[in-house]
Amino acid sequence: MRPLTRTALWLLMAAGPALAAASTDASAPLPRIVVAFANEPLAAPGPAGTTGSRYGGTGYRVGQSAQRQAHSVAADYSLHEVTSWPIQVLSMHCVVFEIANGQPVADVVAKLSKDSRVVLAQPLQEFHTLTTAGASAAPSAATAPYNDPLYDLQTNMTALGIARAHERTQGAGVRIALIDTGVDLDHPDLRGASVHSRSFIDRPVSPGLLRHGTAMAGLIAAVANNHIGIVGIAPRAEIEVFEACWQLAPASDAASCNTFTLARALAAALSSGAPLVNLSFAGPADPLLTALVHTGLKRGVTFIGAAAPAEAPFPTAIPGVISAAGTERPAPAGTLAAPAQHVLRSVRAASTTLNPAHRSPPPRSPRCSLCSSRHRRRDCRRPRWSRCSRVLPPRRPPPSRRRSMSTPRSRVSTPCTAAGPSRRARHNPEPGSSRVTRRALRLDPLPVALHARPSCRVPHPVSPGR
């Protein structure tokens, strides 16, 4: 090998990892930030002498001033707009930008925070649901006040005295906003519950990827005394689901959401008027989401969040948000303690032990290729017109069979003395007879074997079917 060729080969081998890293970095998504502008909504001027309404017309919209400011900021800082939405409760127009020139996120946010056109600038944060794996619980010896098969395993219900509380109220008339993943509205233990859902993520989701939201909805409002699964804490409460998170793996409760989806869901929850908002996720401090929570607290809305580590202060670090933690571990002062282990939930999984009453239906037998009915093909050894009398309307026998069993017209047309005309007379009526029509022959729902009467002569053998 020539020295020049050998040198070039070694250079390519040495540069291979660097080239691979460069290609990986190029394929990585660009960093994103959230920038908010003061929003004066676009509206036609009213008649002279009248006072305009900021939120009149068809709804809260984006004003021309906010649009111009967003375009000018994007041009000045080399930003690419990804999506945008107005937030009525904050009088803001929020825009998600991508940083296209490779500048660090912290530097861009610091510069935008000093820009007079910008009301708020922050990174697009990531949040995650909080899950705890627990072992199955031992059954209780106490008499169950419910017929739900798994109530005896719900030790958290006994510890909280839910049965006694249900004697006074089961949550009727209480509206709860659940910001989480979507909920499987077809889950057997949620049928009959008041659960409504709205989605704020731009991706289709199958029922198998709604584990965390379905579990939370079941803990709150699983129907009681329906002989299925578990009992909810407030089975008659009204649940309004705002889907803002997406499941990360098919068999896991872990889910993710970001500032964009959570801000839209929080704004919708505040607009719905629900007095109670459940936030079972945690993440870094977020100025936009914090402003939405503060607005809700001023309106008297109650927010409940799961206690999280110090590195994930949102939302429980906000003063006024109720923090819930498990009784199995020491909880900080001011934290609402409740059982967190051995808690049964409603999930959509064939192998779950939490809801054995919900199983997939047994497989149906394939359709027979001879008679189009659902039974094995080996049962079709008999003639088609006799074996299929169980599931199909009676039909005339094949011509060859009919010729071999032909009888004189006088005998066939003679009516039975006890039960009306014979089967063969019905299938071969006299010319011009109106007693038996083609419609009656084709749509008769009775099996062939039931047409035979003890006093009638049946011209050919008929199988009664199994």
Domain ranges across the chain: 29-41+59-124, 151-338, 371-405+436-466
pLDDT in tens, 401-451: 555 444 444 444 444 444 444 444 444 555 444 444 444 434 444 343 334
Helix (H, G, I), strand (E, B) or coil at 66: helix
Name the CATH superfamily for 151-338. Peptidase S8/S53 domain (3.40.50.200)
pLDDT in tens, 1-13: 444 444 433 333 4
Helix (H, G, I), strand (E, B) or coil at 33: strand
The strands making up 255-258's β-sheet, listed across from edge to edge, are 246-247, 255-258, 126-129, 281-282
pLDDT in tens, 205-240: 887 889 999 999 999 999 999 999 999 999 999 999
Amino acid at 94: C
pLDDT of residue 29: 84
Radius of gyration of the chain (CA): 35
Cα separation of 72 and 86, whole Å?
A: 18
Decide if pLDDT at 169 tops 80. yes
DSSP 136: P
Average pLDDT score over residue span 49-72: 70
Q: Which of 157-161, 171-175, 329-333 has the lowest mean pLDDT?
A: 329-333
Binned at pLDDT 50, 70 and 90, residue 397 comes out as: low
Binned at pLDDT 50, 70 and 90, residue 394 comes out as: low
**Residue with the larger pLDDT of the pair 401 and 159:** 159
Q: Of the segments 27-36, 140-149, 243-252, 280-289, which one has the largest average pLDDT value?
A: 280-289
Enter the tokens of residue 146.
């419910």
Amino acid at 1: M
Helix (H, G, I), strand (E, B) or coil at 143: coil
Mean of per-residue pLDDT scores for the chain: 74
Where does 29-41+59-124 sit in CATH, by number? Answer: 3.30.70.260
pLDDT of residue 445: 44
Decide if pLDDT at 266 tops 90. yes
pLDDT of residue 329: 79
Binned at pLDDT 50, 70 and 90, residue 328 comes out as: confident
pLDDT in tens, 298-312: 999 999 998 888 899
Binned at pLDDT 50, 70 and 90, residue 263 comes out as: very high
Decide if pLDDT at 362 tops 70. no
Same fold, 29-41+59-124 and 151-338: no
Decide if pLDDT at 43 tops 70. no
356 φ/ψ angles, rounded to the nearest 5 degrees: -65, -20
- High-pLDDT (> 70) share of the chain, %: 62
pLDDT in tens, 84-133: 999 989 999 999 999 988 899 999 999 999 999 999 999 999 998 877 65
pLDDT in tens, 244-259: 999 998 888 899 999 9
Q: Is 451 exposed, middle or buried (0-12, 13-18, 19+ CB in 10 A)?
A: buried
Average pLDDT score over residue span 184-199: 92
**Residue with the larger pLDDT of the pair 386 and 106:** 106
pTM: 0.64
* Count helices and strands in the chain by DSSP H and E runs: 13, 15
Decide if pLDDT at 52 tops 80. no
Label residue 156 left, alpha or beta by phi (over 0 means left) and psi (-120 to 50 means alpha): alpha
CA distances from 361 to 190, 357, 364 (A): 19, 11, 9
Decide if pLDDT at 366 tops 80. no
**Residue with the larger pLDDT of the pair 346 and 352:** 346
